[in-house]
Structure 1
Amino acid sequence: MELNVQHAQPIKIRPLTIEDFGYVLNWSQDDSFCSANEWEKKRNKEELFRWWEGCVKRETDDFIRMGIEFEKRLIGYVDLACIKGKTAELGIAIGESDLWGNGIGVKSCLCMMEFAVKNLGITVFYAETHETNNRSRKMLDKIGFKEISRNGSETYLGKESQLIQYSCCIGGEL
Structure 2
Amino acid sequence: MPRTDTMRLRPLSPGDEHVYAGWALDEEFRVANGWPERDRDGHLRHWRRLIEAPPPELIRLAVEVDEEVVGYADLHGLAPDTRELGIAIGPSSRWGQGLGQRAIKTALTYGFSVLDLTRIWAETHETNTRAKKLFDATGFIETGRHGTDTYRGEDVSLVQYAVERPY
Aligned length: 164
Partners of 2:78 and 2:136 in 1: how far apart? 22
Which secondary structure state, in structure 1, belongs to the residue aligned with residue 60 of structure 2?
A: strand
Partners of 1:67 and 1:25 in 2: how far apart? 14
Greater RCO (CA < 8 Å, at least 6 residues apart): 1
Contact 1:18 1:52 in 2 (8 A): no
51-60 or 92-101: bigger deviation: 51-60
Partners of 1:165 and 1:93 in 2: how far apart? 17
Contact 2:9 2:106 in 1 (8 A): yes
Q: What is the CA deviation profile of residues 68-122 of structure 1, one whole-angstrom value per residue up to 9, with x for unaligned ones? A: 1124321211000014121111001112111112211111111112112222210
Q: Corresponding residue for 1:92? A: 87
Could you tell me which of 109, 128, 133 is aligned with 1:133? 128
- Structure 1 stretches of 5 or more lacking a match? 1-7
Contact 1:78 1:112 in 2 (8 A): yes
The TM-score, its normalising length taken from structure 2, stands at 0.89
Q: Corresponding residue for 1:10? A: 6
- Letter of the 1:19 partner, please give it: G
Contact 1:18 1:53 in 2 (8 A): yes
Which secondary structure state, in structure 1, belongs to the residue aligned with residue 15 of structure 2?
A: helix
Matched, 1:119 2:114: yes
Matched, 1:167 2:158: no
Which secondary structure state, in structure 1, belongs to the residue aligned with residue 36 of structure 2?
A: coil
- Letter of the 1:54 partner, please give it: R
- Structure 2 stretches of 5 or more lacking a match? none
Contact 2:75 2:83 in 1 (8 A): yes
Deviation of 1:39 after TM superposition, in Å, equals 0.9
Matched, 1:148 2:148: no
Residues 21 and 62 of structure 1, relative CA distance in 2, 3 Å threshold? closer
Which secondary structure state, in structure 2, belongs to the residue aligned with residue 84 of structure 1?
A: coil
Q: Could you say what the CA RMSD is over the residues aligned between the two structures, in angstroms?
A: 1.8
Which secondary structure state, in structure 1, belongs to the residue aligned with residue 25 of structure 2?
A: coil
- Letter of the 1:132 partner, please give it: T
- Letter of the 1:38 partner, please give it: G
Partners of 1:105 and 1:57 in 2: how far apart? 26
